Amino acid sequence: ILNVEQSPQSLHVQEGDSTNFTCSFPSSNFYALHWYRWETAKSPEALFVMTLNGDEKKKGRISATLNTKEGYSYLYIKGSQPEDSATYLCASNTGNQFYFGTGTSLTVIP
Amino acid sequence: ETGVTQTPRHLVMGMTNKKSLKCEQHLGHNAMYWYKQSAKKPLELMFVYSLEERVENNSVPSRFSPECPNSSHLFLHLHTLQPEDSALYLCASSLRWSYQETQYFGPGTRLLVL
């Protein structure tokens, strides 16, 4: 079993603030890193798939970076909005297995 | 909507019951997955099917029996479950079974075993 860790476990930010959180994973046998956004009572929604060291991906106000050598990825949200409130999951893929973190729960206060 | 549906959304069953969870995808994908999420634990991959063949089975007890009759449908047959099997069961699909393919998830079935 691969340990994928996410921090913080939860956070509350004011509307308009920018925020970021971390996904840590073992750097050996790494194939890809996936980020998902999961709103309560809905399906997890894919945000990014990253494979290369130094990868940076962006989708609107959300962006992510990847460091495969040290085994971490950051997810950034610029100018948080209440609709960004969700749990953000990362998953590391080792080729034929997906290992998920327990997520970071984000609450954006209007 | 992700194009992946799951039924039922909620299920309560006794330990001696037999029930099935159903997943259907309308995306033309060739790979389908079952995941389990127990309380306060990460999502755990249970089974992977690619082109209707099972390609991964992560040491899941035999009381969980998957079936993939075609590339659009995936079932999880449940029998003689234990209370600790109570969890959220998520289905997902992807275009191919590959580490870099995006997975599309269904909304899950919340299962309670009494």
pLDDT tens readout for residues A86-97: 999 999 998 778
Average pLDDT, integer, range A79-107: 93
Which amino acid makes up residue A21? F
Chain A closest-CA separation from residue B93 CA (Å): 12
pLDDT of residue B57: 76
Q: How far is B104 from chain A (nearest CA, A)?
A: 7
Where residue A84 falls (left for φ over 0; alpha for ψ -120 to 50; beta otherwise) is: alpha
pLDDT at B2 over 90: no
Question: Tens of pLDDT along A38-75?
Answer: 999 899 999 999 999 999 999 999 999 999 999 999 99
Burial class (CB in 10 A: 0-12, 13-18, 19+), B78: buried
Mean pLDDT of B90-95: 96
Residues of A in contact with B47 (CB under 8 A): none
Show residues of chain B in contact with A34, CB under 8 Å: 102-103
Which H or E element spans position A84?
none
Mutate to test the interface with B, among A24, A42, A43 (most CBs of B within 10 A): A43
